[in-house]
Structure 1
Amino acid sequence: MDPAHGRGDRPEDEFESIVAGWRSEGSVPDWPSDRAEPAESAPPSTPPSTPPSGDRPVHRPGPASEPEDDHYHPPEPPPLPRPGPPAVVGGGLILLGLLLCVTPGLLGVGGTWPLPLGLVLIAAGLTWLMLRLWTPDRGDDPDPFDDGSRL
């Protein structure tokens, strides 16, 4: 049996006492109304066409419009660099391999050998381009334990 079961300090009792304290304070006060207060001092000169309503919102001006020249206009991007000869060779191998795989008749070849040759050419072109991404160290930093941080 729970030793706290018979005592009055259970969490449910504490919560109920908090809620009872809030209820004894009364309801939460209302926020100030954003409604226009009707003018009672001066009677209207002409009767309104619609019945008066005390629930009309107050007109608040919106944010000021920004001038058109206040926006950021990024500079034009630089032109794409021209591919070098090794990139052209890799792309050519891939394109030639695709042509041999998809439409060998366009190149005037037939039989069963264009498909394997095309796959080999595609793999060779991709390998050629991937090897270009790997640049060996030129020996410009003699410290082999340099982690790249500079002070």
Structure 2
Amino acid sequence: MTRRSDGPEDVDAAFAEIVADLEREGVGENLTAEPSEPEPSEPETTGPGVAEEQRPRPEPEPRPHASEWRTAEREWDPDADLDIDSDTEHYEPPEPPPVPRPHAATIVALVLIAIAILLFAAPNLLGISSSAAIPLGAVAAVGAAGLLLFRLRSGPPPGTPGSDDDGARL
């Protein structure tokens, strides 16, 4: 095998070294021990000369008793994490926060979108020919989209937790 800059020269030797280190630490000791054979106290019930009915069936593993099961430190209460009133038995969510007031630029963008829709759908309502309404509607739609996109924030609003955080520091 040729020597590469990112690996050992002999992979088998490196693997054997890793396995030897793990064995020194005691990893896998229970895997190498052979199971002990029970001493036969009864006559032979397996083999070619024994009928199927005479062969003993293996005993299933006994199930642990309920007292041996692992339990939690406290009993589980399904209603513990919910804000449930025991008299009414239904969940009442908290009041939602109020809707923020739109900024003036948002209102202008919505008006431009409405004008663009009106120019595309019914230019005769405004008294403009359809050949002039299509470019005006396109300009209004692009202007509204641009106004809304430039108003997008790249982070949390100022004054909220985390707004002054500029990332991880080492």
How high is the TM-score relative to the length of structure 2? 0.40
Task: Tell me: higher relative CO, structure 1 or 2? Use CA pairs within 8 A at least 6 residues apart.
Answer: 1
How high is the TM-score relative to the length of structure 1? 0.45
